[in-house]
Amino acid sequence: MNFDLNEDQLSIQASIEKVCEKFDDEYWLERDRTGAFPHDFHRTLADNGWLGIAMDPEYGGAGLGMTEAALMMRTISASGAGLSGASAVHMNIFGLNPVQVFGTDDQKKRFLPPLIEGKDKACFAVTEPDAGLDTTHLKTQAVRDGNYYVITGRKIWISTAQVANKMLIIARTTPLEKAAKPTDGLSLFYTDLDRNHIEVREIEKMGRKAVDSNMLFIDGLRVPISDLIGEEGQGFKYLLHGLNPERILIAAEAIGLGQAALRRATQYAKERVVFGRPIGKNQAIQHPLAQAWMQLEAANLMVMKAATLYDSNKSCGAEANSAKYLAAEAAFQSCQTAIATLGGMGYAKEYHVERYMRECMIPRLAPVSPQLILCFIAEKVLGLPKSY
């Protein structure tokens, strides 16, 4: 059982670290203050070929696996970019996997290269105000009209919709009552984010101001049938394909965030002298930091295991979900501890750890709640009766 990173992975980590060096803590502090999207960060990663890390080489990708993608996302986050950096590119890394797996050659040619080159920015419209965890009950409808589908509905928590020009959207093509089972009748589209038919309203939120989250009001959006991915009514199945990678990547990002917080707190503990000694000499300071390190390392092992299973085409639902749960909780502990270690300074924006704390709630809540993950493990791994 080899736990070392291989040569490529070490190269990837070192190269990403170098790219992120230019985007320092002050850059991210400023982004969080103004809310300006980090376009130059996105552009630098795109220009250096990083967006296509897990995409097909035939369309400009590097054809590597989730292991490398997760490593890249963790490294970005750990540099101090946190979720603000990671979320700016997250969707581009794996979001179009359903297109890659289920799209036609024509669709792949049209859609994948511009995204990999950074020319397109895509958002992912699944969640609705009344359907978050309960995806099959979503209400957005896509009604066939000649060579088009007409989509109407509302979506919420759609990241990057302020800057995106493309949208991967799931909608009901067969009403729930008429579907053979709840998971039937949903269809997946990759289409232009036409602001004439979509009102994008930004949601003011706790953290990660640089990467917008939005409510979408979609009214009579005409989508050509050539933008339908795969078969009509099979969308849920295609979506499932991307769920485990989604969890793996978010978990990796959470770990990076926790590591950034731990690094800042540790440095501070070494330098801050109170009562004639560095505070890091006190066990009440050292011990929580040591715990944070252990929890982050353990969660990282689960992330890497899930990624390895995924890359080997093995089932990884339990591991991917657990990785998300463990990483988010470990990040939360680390961020809390960091603020406590910095004391009053931890409350000041210029010391960065309060920003990490505000961001670490995202991987805790999204894409799935920790409670539902616990239910999933109880049911699917332990065989206990489903509780809902």
**Of 118 and 207, which CB lies nearer to another protein in the complex structure?**
118
Contacts of 93 (CB under 8 A, 6+ apart): 51, 53, 54, 69, 72, 73, 249
**Of 14 and 225, which CB lies nearer to another protein in the complex structure?**
14
Shortest distance in whole angstroms from residue 111 CB to another protein: 20
**Of 24 and 231, which CB lies nearer to another protein in the complex structure?**
24
Shortest distance in whole angstroms from residue 60 CB to another protein: 9
State the greatest distance between any 2 C-alpha atoms of the chain, in Å, as a whole number.
79
Shortest distance in whole angstroms from residue 78 CB to another protein: 12
Contacts of 112 (CB under 8 A, 6+ apart): 55, 56, 59, 60, 61, 96, 99, 100
DSSP state letter for 185:
S
Structure tokens at 288: 């929580």
Shortest distance in whole angstroms from residue 311 CB to another protein: 16
Interacting residues toward another protein by CB under 8 A? 7-8, 10-12, 14-15, 18-19, 21, 44, 47-50, 52-53, 62
d(CA 23, CA 45): 11
DSSP state letter for 384:
P
**Of 3 and 388, which CB lies nearer to another protein in the complex structure?**
3
**Of 48 and 104, which CB lies nearer to another protein in the complex structure?**
48
Shortest distance in whole angstroms from residue 11 CB to another protein: 5
**Of 10 and 274, which CB lies nearer to another protein in the complex structure?**
10
Strand partners, 12: none
Taking Cα atoms as reference points, which of 160, 315, 158, 323 lies closest to residue 249?
323
User: How far is C-alpha 93 from the geometric centre of its chain's CA atoms?
Assistant: 9
